[in-house]
Amino acid sequence: MAEDLNIITGTKQIQYETLLPQIYALIEGETDVTANLANIAAALKEQFKWLWVGFYIVKNDELVLGPFQGPVACTRIKKGRGVCGTAWANAATLIVDDVEKFPGHIACSSLSKSEIVVPIIINNSVVAILDADSENLNNYDDTDREYLEKLLKEVSV
C-alpha cells in the first residue's frame, strides 16, 4: 500500500471504519512489530489529531515506552500505577474522561486532559498497551473502545 492515508471527516464511527482497513493494508505482510506499532500510532494521530498516541511494551515488571507520536513521554511505568499501569494490571481498557480525577494519574504532559488505554493481550497475557491522550476532556467513548479493541485484536493475531 502507498504510505498515504485517506484522512476523512464525519462521525467517529465513519472515521474508524475508513481508517482501520487502511491500517490493516499498511501493516499487511510486515513482520517487524516496531514498524507496525509505529505506523499504527502515526495513522491514529493523523486521523484523530490526538495530543499523544503510542505504545508501551511489557518488559519484565514494567511498561517501557515504545513507538509513539506526540510530545516526549514517560519512559517506564510500574504495573498498577497510573492509567496505563492500571489497564495493564486489570487487563482491561480504561477510558478516563478527566485525568486529573484519576487516582495516581501520572502527568507525563500537563496538556493531557482525557485518555484511553487499551491492552494488547496474547495468550491471556498483556504484552503491550496502546495509550492515547487528548487535550480535551471527555474525548474518548465506547466507539473508541470498540474500534481500538478490534484493531488491536486483529493486529495481535
Number of C-beta neighbours around residue 100 at 10 A: 11
Structural contact between residues 115 and 93, judged by C-beta atoms closer than 8 angstroms: no
In a domain, 86, yes or no: yes
In a domain, 1, yes or no: no
> How much is the pTM?
0.93
Cell of 25: 493494508
- Bridge partners, residue 131, by sequence: 54, 117
| Domain of 139, in residue numbers | 12-156
Q: Structurally, how many domains does the chain consist of?
A: 1
In a domain, 42, yes or no: yes
In a domain, 120, yes or no: yes
Q: What would the pLDDT profile of 81-95 be if each residue is shown by its tens digit? A: 999 999 999 999 999
Given a cut of 70, is residue 3 above it in pLDDT?
no
Chain mean pLDDT for the chain: 92
Residue 98: CATH number of its domain:
3.30.450.40
Residues 88 and 69: their CA atoms lie apart, in Å, by 21
pLDDT at 65: 97
In a domain, 99, yes or no: yes
Half-sphere exposure of 117 (CA within 13 A, CB side): 24
Q: Percent of the chain scored above 90 by pLDDT? A: 83
pLDDT at 111: 80
Q: Which run of H or of E encompasses 58?
A: strand 52-59
Given a cut of 70, is residue 2 above it in pLDDT?
no
In a domain, 49, yes or no: yes
In a domain, 4, yes or no: no
Cell of 134: 487528548
pLDDT at 104: 73
Cell of 100: 486529573
Q: What would the pLDDT profile of 40-77 be if each residue is shown by its tens digit? A: 999 999 999 999 999 999 999 999 999 999 999 999 99
Q: What would the pLDDT profile of 107-122 be if each residue is shown by its tens digit? A: 777 788 999 999 999 9
Residues 151 and 1: their CA atoms lie apart, in Å, by 18
* Identity at 154, one-letter amino acid code: E
For the chain, the residue count is: 157
Given a cut of 90, is residue 133 above it in pLDDT?
yes
In a domain, 149, yes or no: yes
pLDDT at 95: 97
Q: What would the pLDDT profile of 17-36 be if each residue is shown by its tens digit? A: 999 999 999 999 999 999 99
